[in-house]
Amino acid sequence: MKRYEAKKNKPQAAKKEILEAAMGLLKNNSFDFLTIRSICKAAGISNGTFYHYFNSKEDLTTYVITEGYKKYKNERLSIALAPQYRVVDIFIYIAYYLSSFGLGFLSNYMSVKNQSFNVDCIMQAEDHKEIVKYVLEQMQLAQDMGMIDSVYNVREIYDELNVIFYGSLFYWCLYNGHNGLIKSLNKFLITHFNLYLASEFKMEYMDKQIL
């Protein structure tokens, strides 16, 4: 049984080791420096081993957010939240997760060349689209419950919240981590999302509910 479990968990462990090598590189180097060659060298693996687990550099960098969502499911899904609060809660958790790796990492990760931020690309990747699907499902649920008027397109609202999410991360990096990322992101997301919510479902700030 133990041998079976070890074999079963080996791919996951290998992927995490490769991911950690890449994230280590990004703490001190620009996103352009992050190549398959540099990742393999840092991880002590061959190119073939890399491609056994990941399709590309972008596949690997998207896996960072995928891992954050796995942690979110383990730590937060058991907490009862209305769908509109769930949406904001996920955004804030992922921001907290990414910032926990440090300013150096996030400053280099926040590159316009990083397709990990492209929602359309994420939705085409079977391994990574679960987080986007779940957030959209929560927004659709909110609309089905009458919280969001049917005239609004939930995907468009999601894209707007995504801009606020990544903009807040960029701003935090720009000001060397001194602008209170979680508090400001909480305020901006809720203020914007409330524009689409019926008056009886508008949200209050979640300071006591998150993290």
Q: What is the pLDDT of residues 144-167, one digit of tens each?
A: 999 999 999 999 999 999 999 999
- 171 and 110, same structural domain? yes
In a domain, 206, yes or no: no
Contact 167, 128 (CB under 8 A): no
In a domain, 207, yes or no: no
Q: How far is it, in rounded angstroms, from Cα 135 to Cα 129?
A: 10
State the CATH number of the domain containing residue 157: 1.10.357
At residue 6 the predicted structure's pLDDT band, cuts being 50, 70 and 90, is very low
The residue segments making up the domain with residue 28 are 1-54
- 163 and 114, same structural domain? yes
What pLDDT is recorded for position 9? 55
What pLDDT is recorded for position 206? 62
What SS3 state is found at 179?
coil
pLDDT mean over 99-124: 89
Q: What is the pLDDT of residues 39-69, one digit of tens each?
A: 999 999 999 999 999 998 989 999 999 999 9
- 176 and 74, same structural domain? yes
In a domain, 95, yes or no: yes
Please name every residue paired with 197 in a beta bridge, in sequence order, or none if there are none.
148
Q: What is the pLDDT of residues 172-182, one digit of tens each?
A: 999 998 878 99
